Structure 1
Amino acid sequence: MTPAAHISAAIEVIADISARRRPATDALKDWGLSHRFAGSKDRAAIASLVYDTLRRKASSAWLMGNEEPRSLVLGMLKLQKNLDVAAIDDHFSGARFAPEPLSAEERENLAKDGLKGAPLHVAGDFPEWIEASLVRIFGDEVEAEMQALTHRAPLDLRVNTLKANRDDVNAALAHLALEPTSHSPVGLRAIPAENRRGPAVQSEPEYIKGEIEIQDEGSQLAALLSAVHAGEQVVDLCAGGGGKTLALAAQMNNGGQIYASDSDQRRLAPIHARLERAGVRNVQVRTPRGGADAVTDLDGKIDCVLVDAPCTGTGTWRRNPDAKWRLRPGSLSVRVNDQAVVLDRAAQLVKPEGRIVYITCSVLPEENDESVAAFLERSPEFKSVPAGEVLERALLSRLEPVFRKTEHGLQMSPLKTGTDGFYVSVLERRAKK
């Protein structure tokens, strides 16, 4: 397929997403099934165009004056791909499989001086109703922070120190041209090539042997900030597929005990194979049955409870750009309520002088500092640990300048840390008097 044909296909997929209001992954899958002549490279190029269009949906619509799929793709080509009118014109020739030629109005819009005069939510490409929330956390840097969320995310790997070290793994994977992550001491990063998928890491021997895991550097840092160590009793209360459980086990060098659980037992299904592959021996998976709590016997006995809380995922919009346009106030309220429930449950598990490590992949203060503040109001026996102390305990004080400090925690973002938008707060139970 030609680049012009890729653009035509992207317009078709965007139209499907808009008409049927469904995730981009579903629309792209259906397009591929109905166009089996398209090879894997073609499908990757089309997916890249679709996701870039969704990243710049608000700004493209503002530039072009409407939200028609063709207009959104045109706006993206100018704003995201930095193509001028002549270059865009070459692709919109009306030839076989190419989009129809540009109209006079489209040419005029594409010739405009970018986003000069655009409202903040347009310049930052985010839903207007969360603007006040973003200003509370980012202040004058809202536009820059949110524009950083419109770029493609890198592929980050965590080296499993139970089986390997970063230098040896990087040497073995030299053909992937990986780079050590800037902040995590156990991370490697692959920068995605334009219009191509990332490397097929899962087929590499190092992945198969459990020497590496796919994990964003921000998620790696969140695990490190827990400061867990061998000998501790730890609960990963929202373990899901086990990404952070595996990281904690490596930090503890297979010492102590980790109990991995989740309210949804289906989410736990992948964890067993992952633990075996990684050589983890200090994790006990607690699967809830019939809705029963699987860790009741641990109440008051735990040194550290990791709460990878349910959230809106606003910090992962680089990877899931269509999710931001599906976000609604009602879903935010639901998530905040979920966070209250899981924090209150975590509090019951923690022994005196133990701690909760509260993590979200969100940049919204409602889910971060405000959720924590509400918890502290309900649970005065807990206090938030100052950000500097959290970093010191984790031996990460050198990273203090790259985190955004909040009242109760640390906020990561693509702009500041080059990671997804993770938030971490450490909440410590006071000693008994």
Structure 2
Amino acid sequence: MTPAARLSAAIEVIEAIDSQRVPAAKALKEWGTAHRFAGSGDRAAISGLVYDVLRRQASSAWIMDDDTPRARLLGMLRRERELDADAIAALCDGSRFAPEALSDAERAALASRTVMDAPAHIAGDYPEWLDGYLGEVFGGDRAAEAAAMASRAPLDLRVNTLKAKREKVLGSLRHLGASATPWSPLGLRIALGADARNPGVHAEEDFIKGGIEVQDEGSQLAALLSGAKPGEQVIDLCAGAGGKTLALAAMMQGRGRLIATDHDKRQLAPIYERLSRAGVHNAEVRTPKGDSDPLSDIRASADLVLIDAPCTGTGTWRRNPDAKWRMRPGALEVRLKGQVEVLDRAASYVKVGGRIAYITCSVLPLENGEQIRKFIGRHSDFTVTPPSQTASVLWDKTDDFLAAVYMSDEGLLMTPRRTGTDGFFVSVLQKKA
């Protein structure tokens, strides 16, 4: 397919998303099934175009002063891909398989309109109903912070120190363009271009042998900030597929007791194979059965309970731009209730002197600092560990990291704009005597 034909295909997919109200992944899959002539490179390029339109949906429509699928695509080419009006016109020339030629109004909009005077939610490309929440945490920087959350994320990997060393894996993955992450001592990063396909990491020998796992650097740092140590009894209370369980296991160096569980046993399905591949031998997976508590024997005895809390995922918008436009206030309320329940549950498992590491991939204060303040109000026997102390596990990078993140009395917040990671909030709470 020609670049122009890919644009036409992307417009078709966006029209399907709008008219059928389906997730982008479903619309792209259905388009691919109906157009089997399109090669893998074509499908990757079309997918990239569609997701970039979703990333810049509001600002692209603003630039074009029009909210049609075609207008949003044209606006995205100007805003995200930084093509000028002439370059866009060359792609949209009305020839076979190409989009129709630009109108005078479209050409004028592409040449003159910007988001300079747009409202914050337009310039930052987020739903207007979230403006107050983002303003509470970012203030006048909310448009810039949200715009950074709309950029395409790199592919980050975590080196499993139970089986490999970063220097060696860095060399073996050099052909993929891998480089060391700036903050995590365990991370590797592969930058991805606009039309790039995700590299086949799962076919690499380092992955097959358990030496690496796909994990955003922010998620790696969140696990490190929990301070898990060899010999401790550690619970991963919302383990899901096991990403942070694996990170905790490596931090514990195979010593101590690691228990992974989740209220939704379906989420735990991938964890067994992942633990085996990673060479983890001190982990136990406990699957909930009915209304019984799978951790009933661990009352007030855990050194650390890690909560990778179910949340709105606002910090991961750059990986899932479709989600931000589908998010509704009711979903936030559900998540807030679940966070209260899991925090209170965690408190019952922690021994005196033990810790809770509360983590969200959200930037919303209701899910982060406010949850911690309310928790302390309900559990006066817990206190927040100062973020400066929590971050000391990063050794020589601690000062620079603390200067980059947003710090509060309740914890610290990473963002794509400040740390180059997904958005993650981390708070470590200690149980007093």
**TM value normalised by structure 1:** 0.98
1:297 aligns with 2:289: no
SS at match of 1:285: strand
Inter-partner Cα distance in structure 2 for 1:95 and 1:346: 62
1:29 aligns with 2:33: no
1:421 aligns with 2:399: no
**TM value normalised by structure 2:** 0.98
SS at match of 1:98: coil
Amino acid at match of 1:215: Q
User: Which residue does 2:183 correspond to in 1?
Assistant: 183
SS at match of 1:356: strand
User: Which residue does 2:281 correspond to in 1?
Assistant: 281
Amino acid at match of 1:181: T
Inter-partner Cα distance in structure 1 for 2:392 and 2:178: 29
1:12 aligns with 2:12: yes
Deviations 1:106-158 (A, max 9, x none): 12221224112111110111111111111111122212211111111000000
Amino acid at match of 2:236: D
User: Which residue does 1:65 correspond to in 2?
Assistant: 65
1:154 aligns with 2:154: yes
User: Which residue does 1:46 correspond to in 2?
Assistant: 46
User: Which residue does 2:411 correspond to in 1?
Assistant: 409
SS at match of 2:321: coil
Identity among equivalent positions (%) equals 55
How far does residue 172 in structure 1 lie from its aligned partner after superposition?
1.3
How far does residue 291 in structure 1 lie from its aligned partner after superposition?
3.9
Deviations 1:292-314 (A, max 9, x none): 32111111110100000000000
How far does residue 428 in structure 1 lie from its aligned partner after superposition?
1.1
Contact 1:190 1:198 in 2 (8 A): no
User: Which residue does 1:349 correspond to in 2?
Assistant: 349
Inter-partner Cα distance in structure 1 for 2:327 and 2:142: 18
How far does residue 397 in structure 1 lie from its aligned partner after superposition?
2.5
Greater shift, 371-380 or 418-427, is seen at 371-380
Inter-partner Cα distance in structure 1 for 2:34 and 2:89: 28
Deviations 1:152-209 (A, max 9, x none): 1000000000011000111111211211000000100000023011211000011000
Amino acid at match of 2:351: K
Inter-partner Cα distance in structure 1 for 2:116 and 2:349: 53
Inter-partner Cα distance in structure 2 for 1:256 and 1:12: 54
Amino acid at match of 1:408: E
Deviations 1:79-120 (A, max 9, x none): 111111111111111111111111222122212241121111
Contact 2:92 2:102 in 1 (8 A): yes
SS at match of 1:188: strand
SS at match of 1:415: helix
User: Which residue does 1:361 correspond to in 2?
Assistant: 361
Contact 2:93 2:99 in 1 (8 A): yes
Inter-partner Cα distance in structure 1 for 2:147 and 2:383: 34
The 5 A counterparts of 1:205-284 are 205-284=205-284
User: Which residue does 1:320 correspond to in 2?
Assistant: 320
1:397 aligns with 2:398: yes
Contact 1:227 1:394 in 2 (8 A): no
How far does residue 393 in structure 1 lie from its aligned partner after superposition?
5.0
Contact 1:226 1:394 in 2 (8 A): no
SS at match of 1:298: coil
Inter-partner Cα distance in structure 1 for 2:275 and 2:75: 45
Inter-partner Cα distance in structure 2 for 1:251 and 1:196: 33
Greater shift, 193-202 or 340-349, is seen at 193-202
SS at match of 1:312: coil
Inter-partner Cα distance in structure 1 for 2:95 and 2:292: 62
Inter-partner Cα distance in structure 1 for 2:339 and 2:236: 15
User: Which residue does 1:385 correspond to in 2?
Assistant: 385
Q: Which structure 1 residue ranges, 5 or more long, are not aligned?
A: none
Amino acid at match of 1:289: K
Amino acid at match of 1:397: T
Contact 2:239 2:262 in 1 (8 A): yes
How far does residue 394 in structure 1 lie from its aligned partner after superposition?
5.8
Amino acid at match of 2:43: R
How far does residue 26 in structure 1 lie from its aligned partner after superposition?
0.7
SS at match of 1:156: strand
Greater shift, 265-274 or 14-23, is seen at 14-23
SS at match of 1:341: helix
User: Which residue does 2:93 correspond to in 1?
Assistant: 93
Q: What's the Cα RMSD here?
A: 1.1
Inter-partner Cα distance in structure 2 for 1:100 and 1:292: 62
Task: Give the paired residue count.
Answer: 431
Amino acid at match of 1:425: S
Inter-partner Cα distance in structure 1 for 2:178 and 2:394: 25
Contact 1:7 1:46 in 2 (8 A): yes
Greater shift, 216-225 or 113-122, is seen at 113-122
How far does residue 386 in structure 1 lie from its aligned partner after superposition?
0.9
Inter-partner Cα distance in structure 2 for 1:192 and 1:140: 30
Inter-partner Cα distance in structure 2 for 1:307 and 1:402: 24
The 5 A counterparts of 1:104-183 are 104-183=104-183
Contact 1:240 1:271 in 2 (8 A): yes
Contact 1:302 1:350 in 2 (8 A): yes
Amino acid at match of 2:68: E
SS at match of 2:288: coil
Inter-partner Cα distance in structure 2 for 1:370 and 1:13: 40
